[in-house]
Amino acid sequence: MDTVSAAALAAGGSEADGAEDYSFMYSRSFFGLDGHGWQVIWMDPAAAEKGPEAFAASEQETGTPAA
C-alpha cells in the first residue's frame, strides 16, 4: 500500500487520508490526477476468511496479536 500510494503521490496525486492500521488490515487513500479517489487495502487472509470480528476474538483467545 505504501509503495502504490507513494508512486501515486510522486506522479502528482494527493493524499486523501493518512494510513489506517487496524492490525489485521492496512489501507491508504489518495486522489489521482483526474480527481478520482482510490483506496488500496491489505487484509490478513485469515481475517478475510473468518471475518474481522471472529478473527479478533480468536486472536484474543490465543493471546497472539491480531497482526
pLDDT in tens, 2-45: 999 999 999 999 999 999 998 889 999 999 999 999 999 999 89
Evaluate if residue 46 carries a pLDDT over 80. Answer: yes
The domain spans of the chain are 2-62
DSSP letters spanning 37-52: EEEEEEE-HHHHHH-H
d(CA 17, CA 29): 6
The C-alpha cell that represents 8 in the structure block: 501515486
pLDDT category of residue 47 using cuts at 50, 70 and 90: confident
Predicted local confidence at residue 65, as pLDDT? 59
Q: How many angstroms separate the Cα of 19 from the Cα of each of 30, 37, 50, 54?
A: 10, 15, 24, 24
Evaluate if residue 63 carries a pLDDT over 80. Answer: no
Evaluate if residue 64 carries a pLDDT over 80. Answer: no
Q: What is the pTM of this model?
A: 0.69
